[in-house]
Chain A
Amino acid sequence: MKKNNIEGWLFVSPLVIWISIIILVPIYIAFELSLFNVKIIGTSGKFVGIDNYIKLFGKSKFLNASLNSFYWIIGNAICQTFFAFTIALTINYTFPGKKIITNWIILSFIIPTVVVVVIWKLMLSSSSGIINSVLIDIGILDEATGFFSSPNKAFISLVLINSWRWSPFLALIILSGLNSINREIYDASKVDGANFIQQFIFITFPNLKSVLFVLGLVGTLLSFNIFDIIWLITKGGPSSATTTLPLLIYETAFTKFRISQAATLSIVTSFLLLVFSIIFIKSMAPKEDD
């Protein structure tokens, strides 16, 4: 089809304008704030230049939260890839009840995050949670454990809960990639004697490239952004072990009332994510397909 410059822009412009205003104006405001030392919202502060930025990099809280965010992204990527591929490959087979399972597997994604929190707070409760009593019954635990009481346990539990929420959704997107692979390639490879694992490595995986590109980019940024699950379960604790950058920003702004510091954090974080996205797109974007 021929290029259709003016009309094309006309059709995308309402959305582009909407998004630009709601992202760019706030980022400008945040940048301005980061050069002042405003504390409580609504008060004015004095101009301090790049002071906030210099201070930020010396803060152990910032380093700690950055590291936590890094582990958070890696942990979620591993768990979600594992769960999502297991689900997608499983429901790609034919079995009785396939339709119901495929349609409803996404239940954990369509309910409010607050409900996810309620479910897992109850199931993982140290006094009456079913997980504890099952683990004791089958002999893995001697006595009930608090899943959110130690830094490591809390972090791992949160990664698992968040993966529980997102994996089915990701699985369906992977499934869309699987469906787009021509069946005949599998049949041909079978004739040539390829087994299940070889098929996965040489056919399935390479054919999922464009889907995995989107998942890698969007998935990473989305995991980074997770706030409510962590906040509503551990509030970032114990001893800041689950305070990722989003939680630190929230805390700085709305419980410590250091608005300028929070704005500085937002700017630095946006910059980091932007750099990540550009590198990711430049190096991984699939070739033009049409």
Chain B
Amino acid sequence: MIKENNIKLIFLSLSLLLIILIFFFPFFWIITSSFKSPEEIIATSTTIIPRSFTLEHYNKILFNSDFFIYLKNSLIVSFSSMIISIILSVSAAYGLHKLKFYGNKFVEYSLLVTYAFPGVILLVPIYLLFAKVNLLNSYFALIVVNVLFATPFAVWMLKAFFKLIPNEIEEAAYIDGASRYIVISRIIVPLAAPGIASVSIFCFIISWTEYLFASILISGDDLKTLPVGLAGIVGQYQIDWGFLLSGAVLASLPVILLFVFIGKYFVSGLTEGAVK
């Protein structure tokens, strides 16, 4: 018995070590590198502890680039997409999982498929459609697409939370004369709040990280989002690594900050809302 436990312990520590090395070390690496001198970033001999410290890259990106324009665009697009996605998916999840109706399984599975279905397949026709209705080069074009990408999975995530709410609570409220609206706003939404928080952050992340459509549907520099702006630097022949790394760190900062506050809801939303 003791032997099996020891082996388990060794395995556990080993895989923990590997997980930290593989999934956390790269972040340590780019963050520290973004403060290194340009020479040290591209030096052939690698040092784990930085030898130089400079703020020149951050200085350059904050005061000498379009960073703030991209940031503003990304924030507008992501917040709007998030809010619309939540309204649509909470309503749909309520319909799907609280009011059983004819065809609900079909809708549920179709939604799952659409979660993964769009992507590049829709790129060409959506471009043409938006060109026809004059939506190219607008925030709304990106919002429309982001909502499409975020909502199907959001509905699936909400399912677990809605199922945890006992039907008796609702039924009791109806007996007391409450309307559907009251039940949703006073009972369902507050009880599913952790679920809604985790879905919000998911929707925000989907919009924040979207690159493909943003790169095609937006051509004006004043409307570009952060990923597109950054990708412009990646594509250059002579990469200015310091500039790129500080940009990468800054572009990740807003989602990380958001995650600091509601990240635990997201993770517990994913892990504890038992998918039964």
Contact = CB atoms under 8 A, between A and B. Distances in A.
B163 to A, nearest CB: 8
Contacts of A25: 125, 129
Q: Which bracket fits the contact residues of B?
A: 35 or more
Interface string A143-155: 0100000000000
Contacts of B163: 290
B197 to A, nearest CB: 14
Given A9-B95, A41-B131, A22 B116 contact: no
B19 A8 contact: no
A162 to B, nearest CB: 13
A118 B91 contact: no
B234 A117 contact: yes
Contact of A8 (B4, B100, B211): B100
B91 A5 contact: no
B42 A118 contact: no
Interface stretch (A46-54, A55-63, A219-227): A219-227
Contacts of B79: none
Nearest to A26: B125
A248 B25 CA distance: 34
A113 B267 contact: no
Contact of A26 (B42, B87, B129): B129
A74 interface: no
A133 B42 CA distance: 12
A172 B271 contact: yes
A175 B43 CA distance: 41
A28 B124 CA distance: 12
B49 interface: no
Interface residues of A, number: 107
A30 interface: yes
A169 B205 CA distance: 12
B124 A262 contact: yes
Contacts of B200: none
A107 B29 contact: no
A274 B45 CA distance: 50
A122 B208 CA distance: 22
A113 B227 CA distance: 8
23 contacts: A1-B98, A3-B100, A4-B101, A8-B100, A11-B96, A15-B111, A18-B88, A23-B117, A90-B19, A93-B12, A101-B19, A105-B23, A110-B256, A110-B259, A122-B41, A164-B23, A169-B270, A175-B270, A246-B120, A253-B127, A259-B124, A277-B117, A289-B276
Interface of B: 4, 8, 12, 15-16, 18-20, 22-24, 26-27, 29-30, 33, 41-46, 87-89, 91-92, 94-96, 98-105, 107, 109, 111-129, 131, 144-145, 147-148, 151-153, 155-156, 160, 163, 167, 180, 205, 208-209, 211-212, 216, 226-227, 230-231, 234-235, 239, 241, 244-245, 247-248, 251-252, 255-256, 259, 263-264, 266-267, 270-276
| 4 A-B pairs with least C-beta separation | A8-B101, A11-B95, A221-B116, A26-B125
Interface of A: 1-12, 14-16, 18-19, 22-23, 25-30, 33, 41-42, 86-87, 90-91, 93, 95, 101-115, 117-123, 127-128, 130, 133-134, 144, 164, 168-169, 172-173, 175-177, 179-180, 195-196, 210-211, 214, 217-218, 220-222, 224-225, 227-228, 232, 246-247, 249-250, 253-254, 259, 262-263, 266, 269-270, 273-274, 277, 281, 285, 288-290
